[in-house]
Amino acid sequence: MTVLFECTYRGRRLAGLGLPRAGEPLRLAALPAGEPARALAEGRDLTALFAGAQEVTVPAEELDEVSFRPPLLPEHPGDAMVGGFMQTHNVKVDADTPSQPNWFLKGLGDVLRTSGEDLRAPAGAVALTEEAEIVLVHVTAADGTPRYVGHTFGNDLTDIGRFRRHRGHLSYAKLCDAAVAPWLFLGEPPRHVTGRVTVERDGETRYRGEFTTGTKALHYGLDAIMSELFSHDALLAPGRVHYVYIGADRSSFHGGYRMTDGDRVTLDFTTHGVTLSNTVRCASPALAAAAREAS
C-alpha cells in the first residue's frame, strides 16, 4: 500500500512516499502547498506528480531537523475539520445504541498533534482517557464532493468523565487535542487492528492494556455513517480536509486508570507498525493535583 507523508525541513514544506527508514537518508519532493491533497481529490497519479518535482535529500545526520506534519494538513487551520463518531464498536453496543452514532467536532486543523507533541486538555476536564482509533481522511473536491483519500491512526483524547456525568455533554468532552500519525495510507481502512497502550507517570509505567479496532469491530456500516455525515452541505466547502476518527475499543479509563497532567501516553498500533507518543497537559494546575490525589 502506498504511503504519503509531508514534513518541514529547513523552512520548506516537502513530501515523500513510503515509510522512512531509521538512519537512512530521506528522499523528498518539493511540491506546491496543498498540491498532494488536490491531486488525490482529483484522482491524479501521485507518481507522476512526484516525478516532475524538484528532489530534496535529507542526509541521515540531519534527520533531527525534519518535523513531520499531520497528513495533508492545510496551511490555514480553518481549512481542516477534525471530528468523529462516538460508541461505534461492537463492545460498546447496548440497548440504547442509536441507529446512527453520535458525531462530534473536536476542532479545526490546529488541534492535531503529531508524536512527541503535547496534547492539551481543558481546565474543566473531569476524567481524561486516550482512544486509539483509525482516522479517515477526506478532501472536498472543487465541486463539493468529499473524496476519501486514505487513512492513518490517532489518539482521540477525551474527557470521558464529563460525558459520563452528563450524556448530553459529548461535544464538550471531545474538545481536547488529538494525536495523529503523519503517514497517510492510500488504501481502504483496515478491517483488523490490534495494539497496546502504555501510560507513564514520572517515568514509571502506571497502566498497560491492549486494544482492538478496525472496520470489522464496528457495529455500524462505515459507508452508511459516512454517507450520512457528508450529506450535510455545511461540511462541504471545496478544498476542506476532514479528519474523521471512527471510534475506539476500551481504554485505560475502563481499566480503572485516571489520567492526569504530565502523563505520557504511547499507542502502539502493532499490526501496522505505527507508534504515537504524547504527553497530556491540563490547563488547570488544580485539576492536575486533584487527579494525582485520586489516583
pLDDT band at 193; cut points 50, 70, 90: very high
Strands 3-9, 66-68: parallel, antiparallel or unpaired by DSSP? antiparallel
Residue 180 grid coordinates: 495523529
Q: Is the pLDDT of residue 292 over 80?
A: no
Name the pLDDT band for 105 (thresholds 50, 70, 90): very high
DSSP string for 60-112: GGGGGGEEE--TT--SSGGGEEEEEESS-BGGG--TT--SSPPEEEEEEGGGE
- The pLDDT value given to residue 293: 64
Question: Which pLDDT score, from 0 to 100, does residue 284 have?
Answer: 59
pLDDT-derived band at 289 (thresholds 50, 70, 90) equals low
- Give the pLDDT confidence score for residue 218 in this predicted structure: 95
For the cut 70, the answer to whether the pLDDT of residue 288 exceeds it is no
Q: Write the burial class of residue 178 (CB in 10 Å: 0-12 exposed, 13-18 middle, 19+ buried).
A: buried
* CB proximity list for 121: less than 8 A, separation 6 or greater: 128, 157, 159, 176, 177, 280, 281, 282, 283
Which bin fits 85, alpha (ψ -120 to 50), beta or left (φ > 0)? beta
pLDDT of residue 247: 95
The reported pLDDT for the residue numbered 242 is: 98
Among 4-8, 150-154, 168-172, 280-284, name the one with the lowest average pLDDT: 280-284
Of all residues in the chain, what percent carry a pLDDT higher than 90? 83
CB 138 within 8 A of CB 241: yes
- pLDDT surpassing 70 at residue 96: yes
Q: Are strands 54-58 and 26-30 parallel, antiparallel or unpaired?
A: antiparallel
Quote the pLDDT of residue 124. 77
* All structural domains of the chain: 3-68 (no CATH), 77-294 (3.90.850.10)
Q: Which residues pair with 9 in a beta bridge?
A: 12, 66
| pLDDT score recorded for residue 294 | 61
Assess whether pLDDT exceeds 60 at residue 287.
no
Average pLDDT over residues 196-204: 97
Range 24-47 average pLDDT = 94
Written as nine digits, the cell of 10 is 529547513
pLDDT band at 291 (very low <50, low <70, confident <90, very high): low
Of the pLDDT bands very low, low, confident and very high (cuts 50, 70, 90), residue 52 is confident
C-alpha 253/C-alpha 255 separation (Å) is: 5
Q: Give residue 229's pLDDT band: very low, low, confident or very high (50, 70, 90).
A: very high
